[in-house]
Structures are given as C-alpha cells and as structure tokens.
Amino acid sequence: MAVLKDNAYGHGLELMANLASTYGLQKAAVKNLQEAKMISHLFDEILILADHPATQAVSSNISFAAHAFETLLLFPKGTAIHLSIDTGMHRNGVREDKIEAAILRIKERGLNLKGIFTHFRSSDELNSEFFWQQANFERAKVLVKELLKKHGLPSIAFHSCNSAGLLRTQSLGSDDFARCGIAMYGYTTLHPMIETPALKPVLSLWAQKLSTRTIKQGERVGYGGIYEATCDEVISTYDIGYGDGFFRFDGHGELFLANQQTIKGRMSMDSFCTGGDAQEICMFEDATALAKHFRTISYEIITKLSPTLKRVVI
C-alpha cells in the first residue's frame, strides 16, 4: 500500500500516485477524503488515515481508518472501514479487550469491515519494542479471525508494517500487505546498526535566479544585514523562500546547499541569496543534512514544501 498522504510527503500527490499506479501498486493510503477523491481512479482501494467520517456517499474503493470504538457510531451504513488496533503505541486504536464489542458494533451498524491494522511506535529503534508489538498484533489477529467466524462475517485483510518495519523484517509475515511511506521516497529512519538497503532520495529542490549583483567588501545582504562581505563578491538572488515551505534560515551559522555553497544572510519569504551567478541552483538532493541543521527529521523538510512548487519527473 503506497502511502501518499500529505501531498505524497511533499512530492506531489497526483504525480506520485500516477507513478505508483504505473509501477503496478493497487492500494494507496492518504490523509483525507480530498486527497482520496483526487486519485480514486488510479487504485483498487484507497485508505483514508486521518479524516473524520464522511457525511456523503463516497466511491466504493475508498475506505476509512476507524481509530476508536466511539467513532464506529459516526460512520454511515455501508461505509468501508479498517479498524485500528492499539498494540502499544497508545495513539489510536481499539484495545484488545474491546475488539469483540467493536466487531459487534460494526455488524450492527452495517459497516463494511475490510481490514484490521496497527502502527508500530519503535520499528526504527534498536530495541525489542517492535517485536513486542508484533506479538501483540499476532495475538489480536487470531482473536479477530475467531470472532469473524463466530459472527458470520467475511475474511478481511491484516496490515501492520510501516517502512521501517518492512525494511527491518524483509517480510510481511502473515500480513496481507505493508503500508510503505517514507522508504518510497528514498529515506529510512532505521537505526544505523540495523542492516538497511541503500535508498536514494527521489526529490531534489532547485531554485531559479532572479538577479545578480557585485557587492563590495563591508556591504551587507538581506534583512538585518546579517551577512557582511569580507571582500568584493558576486551575489545572486534565487526564487525559493520560507513561503515555499523551505525552513527559514536566520542567517546565523552556515547552511549549505547541495553544491556546498552557503546561503548568504537571512532567507526571505520568497527568495534567498548565495554566491555566484548560476542560472539555477540545487538547494538539496537529500533532506537528511537539512534535517540535522534544523534539528528535525527528513519527513518535516519534505512535507513542508509548498504544493504550488513545480514538480517535474526526469
């Protein structure tokens, strides 16, 4: 299941959905109904992970994640759902002792139960919590299969692995599919001591030149004049800023671009300055270094990129 939520992690929802479909993927996961409708023609099933129940009829290939027992009262009859099981993350999901009550409610309300799933809290970390949660989900699966038979309900799909879980185990186990997100885009958060395939980030961010000038020694650049030239130098301004979703660099310290040049001075809303006069410049090919600079994770760097930025497949 290709996880395409949040504008495909900033890569462009429709673009990445078309690529995923072209490569033969038949299932996708998105954040909300708006995203699901945009790509519903491309997949056999689309799972909405983080939206409230729809009040209107939706396409038959769209399913909703049901994250709580109480939520089951809100779905209209006939809604396709995947029930979330809390196996230890304690963010969403029905606890094991509530599973039978949930299945009874699903049957009473005429909901279409298509799947049972969970989410791992530590699949990328060097500890045993991943295996503990796996064991909890396996136990829940046995219970669910017994309850489906007991209450005359059809068989369903089971899924648990995120990118880190799949890369760590190299197997679906007894699951039907995995929900692969960040790894599709070339990143992994696995602990370095866990063997990981070499992944290549698929997105690079390029800026186009707006203007060029020569500044003299002692002249300062941008808001607050943070950067001061130590000699006469050529400075160019490029068309990406924090308004485009790139993190706001405050001009202090050094922020390196892909070619190891630095941003000169404070980043503006719609532009930044750097040395030289190249017509275009690559801001990053791998978000990992930027994530370290801004003390965050690669997910945040790429998902913040504005949907209005032009995206081109090469």
What's the pLDDT score for residue 197?
A: 87
Q: Catalytic site residue 5?
A: yes
Q: In this predicted model, what pLDDT tens digit does every residue of 10-29 receive, in sequence order?
A: 999 999 999 999 999 999 99
For the chain, give every residue range classified as CATH 3.20.20.10.
2-185
What's the pLDDT score for residue 196?
A: 84
Q: Which residue blocks in 118-191 are alpha helix, DSSP H?
A: 129-150, 163-169
| pLDDT category of residue 143 using cuts at 50, 70 and 90 | very high
Q: Which of 5, 27, 141, 264 is catalytic?
A: 5
The pTM (predicted TM-score) of the whole model is: 0.94
CA–CA gap between residue 122 and residue 162 (Å, rounded): 11
CA–CA gap between residue 241 and residue 235 (Å, rounded): 16
Q: What mean pLDDT value characterizes the chain?
A: 96
CA–CA gap between residue 63 and residue 52 (Å, rounded): 12
Superfamily (CATH) of domain 205-303? Lyase, Ornithine Decarboxylase; Chain A, domain 1 (2.40.37.10)
Reply yes or no on whether the pLDDT at 309 is more than 90. Answer: yes
Q: In this predicted model, what pLDDT tens digit does every residue of 115-138 receive, in sequence order?
A: 999 999 999 999 999 999 999 999
Contact (CB, 8 A) for 307 and 7: yes
| pLDDT category of residue 43 using cuts at 50, 70 and 90 | very high
Q: What is the CATH number of domain 2-185?
A: 3.20.20.10
Contact (CB, 8 A) for 257 and 233: no
Reply yes or no on whether the pLDDT at 178 is more than 90. Answer: yes
Q: Catalytic site residue 242?
A: no
For the chain, give every residue range classified as CATH 2.40.37.10.
205-303
- Average pLDDT of 157-182? 96
Contact (CB, 8 A) for 5 and 29: yes
Q: In this predicted model, what pLDDT tens digit does every residue of 197-219 receive, in sequence order?
A: 889 999 999 999 999 999 999 99
Q: Which of 149, 150, 223, 292 is catalytic?
A: 223
What's the pLDDT score for residue 118?
A: 98
